[in-house]
């Protein structure tokens, strides 16, 4: 998508304001991870509502100290209230209770982290009458790169229509700290984990965000070679994870 950035920022701000007004919520809460997506989401929410109505949670779970440092840097840069709640002990207690009969798979174990974080976000959202702002982007939504009912759970998603390249472009325009923009994207699921590395493994070939965005745009415009193995793998991954973006199936709206 070709962004006329100022116009697009205004459109997102209007969307945020309308969402808050319609819900009669008092403000917005979001999780700040130290990454670019949550940084941009926070910056846009502040532009829409002002600093006093945006609240951030920093929710480390066996997280590197650098992640927490970057999240604090962004919260202070935005001038918003934030609270650090270390969920490591809670994670270990929950994991022990769930896995007393068998050792959990690594991905199963990792997915507990974003689900635990979302529980914390909704605890405060309910307490304050705030809405939870999700921080997902279009690149990750298209391939299902998020945890169902974890970081995929939110009351609204201000940047879900933006590809990662657009997120970077808008972040630069809003003068988000270079350290945040230049960080290697990671969901923080385990030590050394990177988004590009994990997506490459799932697709069966090395891929960067730039290449992923290009391929996704080609799929959207139907300008791709259907016989190309890489596109075939991308389509399979997208189909496999489609359930993450849909409501749970039921018989409610089916003809019987």
The model's pLDDT over 165-210, given as tens digits with 9 standing for 90+, comes to 999 999 999 999 999 999 887 766 666 678 888 899 999 999 999 9
**What is the reported pLDDT for 189?**
65
Percent of all residues in the chain with a pLDDT value above 70, rounded to a whole number: 95
- Mean pLDDT (the chain, rounded): 93
Q: What is the pTM of this model?
A: 0.93
Domain with 111 in it: 5-188
Domain count, the chain: 1
Residue 101 pLDDT = 82
Closest CA to 31 of 146, 163, 142, 109: 146
The percentage of the chain sitting over the pLDDT mark of 90, rounded to a whole number, equals: 84
Q: Is 79 contained in some domain?
A: yes
Among 164, 159, 161, CA closest to 215: 164
Say if 122 falls within a structural domain.
Answer: yes
In a domain, 74, yes or no: yes
| pLDDT, greater one: 129 or 249 | 129
Q: Do residues 165 and 209 make contact, with C-beta atoms less than 8 angstroms apart? A: yes
Judge whether 107 lies within some domain. Answer: yes
**Which tokens hold the place of 146?**
């998020």
What residues contact residue 131 under an 8 Å CB cut-off, 6+ apart? 19, 20, 23, 25, 27, 28, 29, 125, 155, 156
Does some domain include residue 216?
A: no
The conformational region for residue 73 under phi > 0 = left, psi -120 to 50 = alpha, else beta, is alpha
Instruction: Evaluate whether residue 67 is within a structural domain.
Output: yes
Mean local confidence (pLDDT), 95-104: 89
Residue 35 has pLDDT above 70, yes or no: yes
Q: Is residue 164 a part of any domain in this protein? A: yes
CA proximity to 80, closest of 58, 57, 56:
56
CATH code (residue 117):
3.40.50.620
Residue-level pLDDT at 195:
84
Instruction: List the single range of 66-80, 86-100, 240-254 with lowest mean pLDDT.
Output: 240-254
If pLDDT is split at 50, 70 and 90, which confidence band does 255 have? low
Query: 83 pLDDT exceeds 90?
Result: yes
**Mean pLDDT computed over 78-92:** 98
Is the pLDDT at 128 greater than 60, yes or no?
Answer: yes
d(CA 120, CA 116): 7
> Does 224 map to a domain?
no
**Strand, coil or helix: 35:** coil
pLDDT of residue 8: 96
pLDDT mean over 6-17: 97
> What are phi and psi for residue 234, nearest 5 degrees?
-65, -45
* Integer Cα distance of 154 and 141 in angstroms: 13
């Amino acid at each position: 998508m070709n962004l006329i950035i100022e116009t697009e920022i205004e459109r997102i701000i209007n969307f945020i304001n309308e969402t808050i007004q319609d819900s009669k919520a008092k403000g917005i809460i979001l999780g700040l991870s130290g990454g670019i997506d949550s940084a941009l989401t926070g910056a846009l929410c502040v532009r829409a509502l002002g600093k006093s109505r945006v609240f951030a949670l920093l929710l480390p779970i066996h997280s590197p100290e650098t992640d927490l440092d970057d999240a604090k840097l962004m919260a202070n840069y935005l001038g918003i209230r934030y609270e650090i709640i270390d969920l490591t002990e809670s994670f270990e207690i929950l994991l022990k209770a769930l896995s007393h009969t068998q050792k959990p798979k690594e991905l199963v174990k990792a997915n507990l982290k974003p689900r635990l974080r979302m529980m914390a976000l909704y605890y405060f959202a309910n307490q304050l009458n705030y809405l939870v702002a999700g921080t997902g982007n279009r690149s990750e939504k298209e391939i299902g790169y998020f945890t169902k009912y974890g970081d995929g759970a939110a009351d609204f998603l201000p940047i879900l229509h933006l590809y990662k390249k657009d997120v970077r472009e808008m972040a630069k325009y809003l003068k988000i700290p270079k350290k945040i923009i230049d960080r290697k994207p990671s969901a923080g699921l385990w030590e050394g984990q990177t988004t590009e590395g994990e997506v490459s493994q799932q697709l069966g070939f090395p891929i960067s965000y730039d290449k992923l965005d290009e391929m996704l745009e080609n799929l959207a415009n139907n300008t791709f070679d259907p016989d190309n193995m890489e596109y075939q793998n991308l389509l399979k991954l997208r189909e496999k994870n489609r359930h993450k973006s849909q409501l749970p199936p039921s018989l409610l709206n089916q003809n019987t």
